[in-house]
Amino acid sequence: MTSDRAALWAELREWRRDFHRHPEFGFEENRTARLVAERLRGFGVQVTEGVGGTGVVGTLRRGRGNRCIALRADMDALRIPEQGERPYRSAKPGVMHACGHDGHTTMLLGAAKVLAERGEFDGTVRFIFQPAEEWGKGALAMLGDGLLERFPFDEIHGIHNLPGLPVGEFRTRAGAVMSAEDNFEIVLRGIGGHASRPQSGREVLVAACTLVVELQTIISRRISPAQTAVLSVTELLTDGTRNALPGLARVLGDARSFNPKVSEEIEMWMRRIAGGIALSHDCTVDVTYTREFVPTINDPAAADAALGAARVALGEDHVKMLENPNTGSEDFARFLEHVPGCFAFLGNGETSMPLHNPGYDFNDEAIPFGVDYFVQLVRQQLSPSGSPA
Ligand SMILES: [Zn+2]
Ligand SMILES: [Zn+2]
């Protein structure tokens, strides 16, 4: 058993490093998806490819139970040039696995292998390998391709590695666990002109700067202090140049919150403030406000189930409730809009570089913990002896 496990971890580490060496951007995960499908078939899992672009769904049935649990991993990499000299560094210039999706894919393959070989559950497991998480588009693409109708399931679970948290540690919480991400672009249009004669045009830079400052009042003055939200202006671009006042300014940024109502309020106040500033500066304004990611809201029962399975798999002392939601965003949230489930965090080590950093690397030591957690979760939720724990 121990040597079996050691052999499994060694094999999974090789797979993870191979995925790392061959990163693929969202909706281009052709090699990754092909390897995932081949390996799942090799374990005896029924496989459907091309779900929502490059997505792969594996189905594994045991016994007669009619409950179905879905486990999800993401497969895409980022357009970030990798730094560092590790032997399995990215072979594709400008693209790297800087978010650990190589590790997520590997851990789910490991769980599929163990569950296919040893079973010990009664019902159906769906293994969902999704494309394009970083774009916030992959989950929607799979849902739009009939995921829920073609491969129905009762609950869904996923994990993300967390730099800074020791390896072998597990965290999650009921309710909001990751934030919404909204993007905005505000375009002010006036009339540019000579820097020496501002009165003869309708320049927009002062209006844009006023707007940047006024936007800061949305979170501090308009949103209830009981809510959590953040709004950041990240770019201010104009068509001005030395000695020419701009006639066009673009103010871009990002807002995050954990409640769809708060996101609506931010948009409403942004439109009102932008309109008022445009009026007082005699220019016109267009506000584009888009919701890239919805908040990730864990179902309380699913979060309890996840914490319970993690306590068995990782040990009581290594599993804690996450105190505060994470202000990052995840398109796993799109699945949770339809089916109850839980998204959880697994330690990537205290010395891990942050996610999306060019020096980041998924920690192979975390693989056994992710595999054991998924396997235990399936056995618990599809318990042959009756109802889920
Ligand atoms: Zn990411
Ligand atoms: Zn990620």
Q: Phi, psi at residue 257, to the nearest 5°?
A: -160, 170
List, in sequence order, every residue forming a beta bridge with 346; answer none if it has no partner: 161, 170
384 band by pLDDT with thresholds 50, 70 and 90: confident
Dist. CA 99 → ligand 2 center (Å): 5
The protein residues having their C-beta less than 5 angstroms from ligand 2 (an ion) are 99
Element housing 71 (H / E): strand 68-74
Q: Note the ligand closest to the C-alpha atom of 80.
A: 1
List, in sequence order, every residue forming a beta bridge with 342; answer none if it has no partner: 157
pLDDT tens digit sequence for 146-198? 999 999 999 999 999 999 999 999 999 999 999 999 999 999 999 999 999 99
What pTM was computed for the model? Answer: 0.88
pLDDT tens digit sequence for 182-195? 999 999 999 999 99
Dist. CA 74 → ligand 2 center (Å): 7
| pLDDT at position 108 over 70 | yes
> What residue has token string 């006639």?
247
Dist. CA 317 → ligand 1 center (Å): 28
pLDDT tens digit sequence for 234-247? 999 999 999 999 99
pLDDT tens digit sequence for 27-56? 999 999 999 999 999 999 999 999 999 999
- The catalytic position among 24, 133, 265, 364 is 133
Measured from the Cβ of residue 150, the count of other Cβ atoms closer than 10 Å reads 11
DSSP 200: G
Dist. CA 100 → ligand 2 center (Å): 6
- The catalytic position among 24, 29, 76, 361 is 76
- pLDDT reported for residue 388: 52
Q: Is 76 a catalytic residue?
A: yes
Dist. CA 158 → ligand 1 center (Å): 14
Q: Note the ligand closest to the C-alpha atom of 343.
A: 2
327 band by pLDDT with thresholds 50, 70 and 90: confident
Q: Is 4 a catalytic residue?
A: no
